[in-house]
Structure formats: C-alpha cells, structure tokens
Amino acid sequence: MIQRLFDVIIIGAGIVGAALARELSAYAMRVAVLDKAAEIPSGASRANSAMIHAGYDDKPGTQKARFCPSGNRRFHELQGPLDFTLRECGSYVCAFEEDEIRHLDALLDQGKRNGVPGMEIISGDTLRDREPHASREIRAALWAPSGAIVNNFEAVLAFMDNAQQNGVELFLETQVTGLLCSEEKQEVFGVETTKGRFLAPVVINAAGVHAGEISRMAGEESVRIRPTRGEYFITDKTVGHLVKGFFFACPSAKGKGITVASTAEHNLLIGPTSTPQTDLEDTSTTMKGLEEVLDGARKLVPDIPSGAVITSFAGVRANTLSGDFNIAVLRKPRGFVNVAGIKSPGFTSAPAIALHVVEMLREELADRVIMTPNPHFVPERTHIPRFAELSMEEREALVRRDPRFAQIVCRCETVTEAQVVEAIRRGARTVAAVKIWTRAGAGRCQGGFCGPRVADILARELGIPLEEVTRHGGHSRLLVGRTKEYWFRGNE
C-alpha cells in the first residue's frame, strides 16, 4: 500500500477546497487535495446559479453574513490575477405585491448592516427602462450593483490551477474511505482512500454534501446534511440578451426561488427548484422541475421561449439544520477541521472562508503545522486562451505560435485543438473535463460533433486506446470496443 506524507490534506476540490488550497499554497508546506471525482468541479460547485451574491440575504451575525460580502470583494480582487470570467451584472430582487415591497426594505436594511455597497430600491418602470424584458407585473426591485455572475467552472479551475503551480498536489478519483486517528480518536494523522493512505497532521473536511459522513468518521455527529436538489435549464445563446442583470423573485419560505440570469457566456440560465431528497448524489432532472422552472422564470421575464432550452442539469445543496455554515477546528481529534454545511452563498463566500481557515490553522493548530511563507509563491495564473472571445489579430498571433489554434474541434463554441491539448496538459482526463476547461461540447449541439474528436485527442495525448476514454471517469466509457472484436468476444 502506498503511503504519502503531507502537512495538510484537504478532502474535496470544490470551490471551498480549491480556494483553500490556493491560500495554503502561499505557505511552505506540502498540501494534498483529494477528490473522488474524475474532474473538478464535480459537486455543488459544478451545478449552481453561479451568482456572486452581494450579501444582503443573510442575518447579521451569521457566518454567511460575515463571509458573503467579503467573499464577493475577494472574487472581484482575484478575477484579474487568477483569470476567470466574472461579469459585473448586478442583481435585482423583484417585488410583485405590497408585502414584498416591504420585504425589499428589510433586505436593504440588512444589506447595509452587512456592509453591501451601492444598494437601492427602484420602481418597476426604472427597472424596465434598464431591462426591457422584465415583467410588467414587477412593481419594485432591490438593485445591488456588486452582485456578479461568475463562470463557476473557470473559478474552481483557476484557484486549483494556481495552487498546483505553487506546489499543491491534486489527486482525482481518490475517495476518502476512512480517517486515520490515534487511540480513542485523540489525534488525526491521515486518511484512508481508494488509492492508498495519505498521512498528514491536519485534515480539512471540505467534502460538500458528503461533509457529514467525513465528520462522522472523526466522531463529530453534529454535521447533518439534508440534500436539496435544484434543477436548472440552459438556453441557447440566441436568447441570452433577454436580461443583463441577475433576477430573483422576492424570497419566500422555500428560499430564493427561481432566478433568471445571463451566464458568463451569454446563455440564459433559469432555475433552480428546491426539492428535498435523500440521495446525496442524485442530480437528475425531472419533467415537473422543468415546468416549475419555466413557469417561475416567465413570471420574471415573460418572453423566454420554451424551445430555446439546450440542456438541463441539477445541483444538490448541502443544507443543514442550523442553516448556517459550520466552520470549526475540532478539539478531538486534534488536527481535524470541518468546513461543512457550505450552502448558498457558499460559492461567493469560499475565498473569504479560505482566508479564515488559514487564520484558524495559524492560531489553533500552530503545534501541528508551521506556516512560513512559500518563497516561490506566484499569486497569478492565466487561463487557456479563450479563442472564441479574441479579436482576429489576437487569433492570428496565436495561430502563428501554434498552428493547432487553427484546428477547430468544437464548432458551436469555436474551441480549437490547441486549447484541448492544453487542457489535457493541465490535468483534464475525461471528455467532461475538457468541456469544463474549454467549453468544447457546451454549445447548442452538446458535443454531438466534437465529442468523438475530443475523445480522439484524449486518447492520443494520454497514450490510451480510444475505448478507454471516459465521459466522466469510473465506468463511463464512451465505447464498448471495436466493431469486429465484438464477434470474437462471443455472447458474454
């Protein structure tokens, strides 16, 4: 059995694990990030509304209210250095009824106390001057200019990529199956995984919906995740212009309700539903979900055509009883840290949570981990060139550098072979990972054309037979074998 030695192990490479890995990479220490998935992001960080919330939703005094506005600021700060797409679109909470307008006042007040800048309540007509497709029924809206939409794929990759440049090691398809502790769970010294043992004096639980199980391995029962599914639909870019800002209906008892937004790439994102379920992993979509989402979205923006949907997806929220984040260094076993119950606005909060966890390590676990600066720390990185977004001159320059930039792989999103090869060089191992890195397959034909081409390039670059290429790791192979071999295998 292989054993590997680290200073800190992070379980989970969602936005929380990735942001934390990046902050820890500023210190001279060996950090391992373990994730059971074959690509990142895979959990809630893959399937959410991609909103960088302004920070008016949460009660002052909660951890959410503390980390959301500061996380928002940090996303704005890091966008340039880490090179991910963040669109400063601002957000509207829309009120249809009298009592909802009163609710806007309460949100405005709460936002001010949480330190959210620039908020104001505007009339329905002012809203429609700015956003001509907004419903005529909307009577007033709370405008928060610091609300932004992020490319959530790129953001997670950016944090992790930068962490890896600074020496952090990422282990994919490595599921944590147990915690290694001393007698009586006094101290933690590593984890057991499907790929062997990883040893470290500090283990951080950032396992998203699975944080409850990991916490239980440490003997801490208080983290109870109640998974709640949210279904979404993505439309073709031809209707992406319907809105500029991020639209929320006035929140109800069920949560923030259905939202409508133009994504970082100008598709329209509509959703999510809110359906409690028992399965932690079930991200399937339903007929009912679609109807609910379309109805809800049309309340805000009546012009959304149903024919424009190109795909659907669902995310699972890591809801907890307390409703707040659960971030704590456990007393027992020493060295174990929970960063659990990170539900919305968890994506927004993650970079602020990361800085906070670094502080906690420094203050509470100084005996187990030494925090000296990493002399080789590079705070910035660049994403793979986004060919589709460049000017003709910039494209020419790339093509002169590498002719593979002139070889289109995905025609819907104009992704070139050079981008796919670079994604593989940076760690993409599956068709889904290439999509996450480059958007190949994310367009209107959903990979019908480029899927086989991406698979070919993966096989070539990884030096594996085409039949071994998977969609998303595990048993998700694209092909079952060569046509003629089929006969030789007999009737298995």
Partner 1 sequence: MTDIRIDVAVIGAGPAGVAAGIGAREAGAEHVVVFERDWDLGGILQQCIHPGFGLHTFKEELTGPEYMHRWIERAHGAGVTFRTNTMVFRMEEDGSFWTMNPNEGIRHVHAGAIVLGMGCRERPLGAIRVPGSRPAGIYTAGTAQRFVNMEGYMPGNRVVVLGSGDIGLIMARRMMWEGASVEGVFEIMSWPGGLRRNIAQCLDDYGIPFYLDHTVTRVHGKDRLEGVTVAKVDANKKPILGTERFVACDTLLLAVGLIPENELSRMAGVQIHPVTGGPVVNQCLQTTRENVFAAGNVVIVYDLVDWVSAEGYKAGKNAALFALDGLPKATRRFDVRGGENVRLFSPQWLSDQEDATIFLRVTKPVEQRCRVTADHGLFSKTLRYARPGEMNEVHIKAEQLRMLPPDVREITVDVEEE
Quick one: DSSP state of residue 57?
S
Cis peptide before 375 (omega within 30 of 0): no
144 scored as a contact of ligand FAD (CB under 6 A)? no
Q: Coil, strand or helix: which one is 305?
A: coil
> By C-alpha distance, which of 196, 163, 160 is closest to 180?
196
The entry of partner 1, ligand FAD, none that residue 406 binds, CB within 5 to 8 Å by partner kind? partner 1
Q: Coil, strand or helix: which one is 466?
A: helix
319 scored as a contact of ligand FAD (CB under 6 A)? no
79 scored as a contact of ligand FAD (CB under 6 A)? no
Stretch 165-184: interaction string toward ligand FAD, x if CB under 6 A: ----------xx--------
**Cα–Cα separations (whole angstroms), residue 224 to 111, 163, 277, 332, 452:** 29, 30, 14, 18, 42
Phi-psi region of 349 (alpha: psi -120 to 50; beta: other; left: phi over 0): alpha
37 scored as a contact of ligand FAD (CB under 6 A)? yes
Task: Output 110 or 430, the one with its CB closest to partner 1.
Answer: 430
The entry of ligand FAD, partner 1, none that residue 208 binds, CB within 5 to 8 Å by partner kind? ligand FAD
Task: Output 79 or 124, the one with its CB closest to ligand FAD.
Answer: 79
The residue behind tokens 């919330």 is: 53
**Cα–Cα separations (whole angstroms), residue 313 to 203, 261, 269, 376, 482:** 32, 15, 11, 40, 32
CB of 295 vs partner 1, minimal distance in Å: 14
Residue 7 contacts residue 31 (beta carbons within 8 Å) = yes
Residues with Cβ < 8 Å from 256, sequence gap 6 or more? Answer: 57, 248, 249, 344
Provide the token pair at 321: 């009883």
160 scored as a contact of ligand FAD (CB under 6 A)? no
Residue 70 contacts residue 63 (beta carbons within 8 Å) = no
The entry of partner 1, ligand FAD, none that residue 471 binds, CB within 5 to 8 Å by partner kind? partner 1
Provide the token pair at 101: 């307008």
Q: Counting every residue, how long is the chain?
A: 492
Cα–Cα distance measured from residue 143 to residue 108, given in angstroms and rounded to the nearest whole number: 9
> By C-alpha distance, which of 213, 202, 156 is closest to 32?
202
Out of 9, 32, 34, 436, which residue is the one contacting ligand FAD (CB under 6 A)?
A: 34
The entry of ligand FAD, partner 1, none that residue 53 binds, CB within 5 to 8 Å by partner kind? ligand FAD
Counting Cβ atoms within 10 Å, is residue 461 exposed (0-12), middle (13-18) or buried (19+)?
middle
Cα–Cα distance measured from residue 54 to residue 113, given in angstroms and rounded to the nearest whole number: 12
43 scored as a contact of ligand FAD (CB under 6 A)? yes
Quick one: which segment of 36-44, 286-294, 327-335, 395-403 binds ligand FAD (CB under 6 A)?
Answer: 36-44
Quick one: which segment of 43-51, 328-336, 394-402, 452-460 binds ligand FAD (CB under 6 A)?
Answer: 43-51
Task: Output 332 or 444, the one with its CB closest to partner 1.
Answer: 444
Cα–Cα distance measured from residue 245 to residue 335, given in angstroms and rounded to the nearest whole number: 43
Stretch 193-212: interaction string toward ligand FAD, x if CB under 6 A: -------------xxxxx--
CB of 467 vs ligand FAD, minimal distance in Å: 24
49 scored as a contact of ligand FAD (CB under 6 A)? yes
Task: Output 18 or 124, the one with its CB closest to ligand FAD.
Answer: 18
210 among known catalytic residues: no
74 scored as a contact of ligand FAD (CB under 6 A)? no
**E strand or H helix that includes residue 161:** helix 152-165
Site for ligand FAD in 223-282 (CB under 6 A): 230, 272
Task: Output 238 or 382, the one with its CB closest to partner 1.
Answer: 238
Residue type, 8: V
Out of 159, 347, 387, 437, which residue is the one contacting ligand FAD (CB under 6 A)?
A: 347
53 scored as a contact of ligand FAD (CB under 6 A)? yes
Q: Which residues of 113-140 are buried (b: 16+ CB within 10 A; e: fewer)?
A: ebbbeebebbebeebbeebebbbeebbb
Quick one: which segment of 1-9, 82-90, 315-323, 457-465 binds ligand FAD (CB under 6 A)?
Answer: 315-323
343 scored as a contact of ligand FAD (CB under 6 A)? yes
Residue 417 contacts residue 434 (beta carbons within 8 Å) = no
The entry of ligand FAD, partner 1, none that residue 461 binds, CB within 5 to 8 Å by partner kind? none
The entry of partner 1, ligand FAD, none that residue 472 binds, CB within 5 to 8 Å by partner kind? partner 1
Provide the token pair at 298: 């049309």
What is the binding site for partner 1 (CB under 8 A)? 233-234, 281-287, 289-290, 309-313, 392-393, 395-396, 399-400, 403-404, 406-408, 411-412, 414, 444-449, 451-452, 466-467, 470-484, 486-487
Task: Output 201 or 208, the one with its CB closest to ligand FAD.
Answer: 208
H helices of 311-387, where? 346-364
Residue 129 contacts residue 143 (beta carbons within 8 Å) = no
Number of residues that bind ligand FAD (CB under 6 A): 40
Residues labelled as active-site residues:
53
Task: Report the interface residues with ligand FAD, using CB under 6 A.
Answer: 11-17, 34-37, 41-45, 48-51, 53, 175-176, 206-210, 230, 272, 315-317, 342-348
